[in-house]
Amino acid sequence: MTTKDPRAACLAALAGLIADETRATCLLALLDGRAWTAGELARHAGVAASTLSEHLGKLVAGGLLAEERQGRHRYVRLAGARAAQLVEDLAAQVAPGAAHRPRTLREASAGSATARGRTCYDHLAGRLGITVTDALTTRGLLRQDTGFALTDAGLTWFGTVGIGLDRKGRRPLARACLDWTERRPHLAGAAGAALCRHALDAGWCVRIGSERAVKVTATGERAFSDLLGIEAGALR
């Protein structure tokens, strides 16, 4: 007599939640770390509001999304870093040849901007994320040989720059996140989130367009050059 693993049903249910193109579209959009209204997601996914509402209900009930209401508006966001990690890790497994090919110049430009620099939930990704991660590693601030870990010099660097780190939470301080466009890991975890938040708050990076693409500003170019020795050309 075989005994079923009790986790099997939960895993199958989770896979079923994601195995729908509309729900997958919503999850990928919410990787920008912001809360979206149901109407915004419906327009983004190209479906009726009533259809989208049903999908969001399933994702909320399944624990992948969290829901907030303000007046008449219903906002949803990813339930947390673990949900974001799951979506990003799954997206990274998609073969490059299976990726959507842009049909217009506008789509091509948006795709190029997203690959150049974006937020992956709450940390930097794309070539920007990889460039910053490599610079941290080269300067001895981050180790990648036994998994991602900040060195003592790295902890000092964050403090010197004025980037506060949450070292008491359950979230790992540094974690490798496989970048789905670069096919290499970039810095995630509490340190990656703190660095991204500081970059946006300090005006080093700004969001562009309606997607999660970000652009390094002139201020950011100077900051990344002074603090990490990154040449401006590598950030454009």
134-182 pLDDT per residue, tens: 999 999 999 998 889 999 999 999 999 999 998 887 889 999 988 878 8
Which pLDDT tens digit goes with each residue over 91-128? 877 645 445 554 554 544 445 778 899 998 899 999 99
**Residue 211 — pLDDT band, cuts 50, 70, 90?**
low
Q: Residues in the chain, how many? A: 236
Residue 108 pLDDT:
44
Looking at domain 7-79, its CATH architecture is Orthogonal Bundle (1.10)
CATH 1.10.10.10 positions along the chain are: 7-79
8 Å CB contact between 113 and 208: yes
Beta strands per DSSP E along 95-138: 118-120, 123-125
Residue 42 pLDDT:
94
Q: How far is 27 from 9, CA to CA, in rounded Å?
A: 22
Does 218 have pLDDT greater than 80? yes
More confident site: 162 or 68: 162
Which pLDDT tens digit goes with each residue over 9-23? 888 999 999 999 999
More confident site: 185 or 102: 185
Tell me the two tokens of residue 161: 């720059």
Does 228 have pLDDT greater than 80? yes
Residue 142 pLDDT:
97
Q: Specify the pTM.
A: 0.74
Q: How far is 132 from 228, CA to CA, in rounded Å?
A: 8
Q: How far is 143 from 152, CA to CA, in rounded Å?
A: 10
Residue 234 pLDDT:
92
Does 78 have pLDDT greater than 60? yes
Residue 74 pLDDT:
83
8 Å CB contact between 66 and 73: no
Residue 105 pLDDT:
42
Average pLDDT over the chain, rounded to an integer: 88
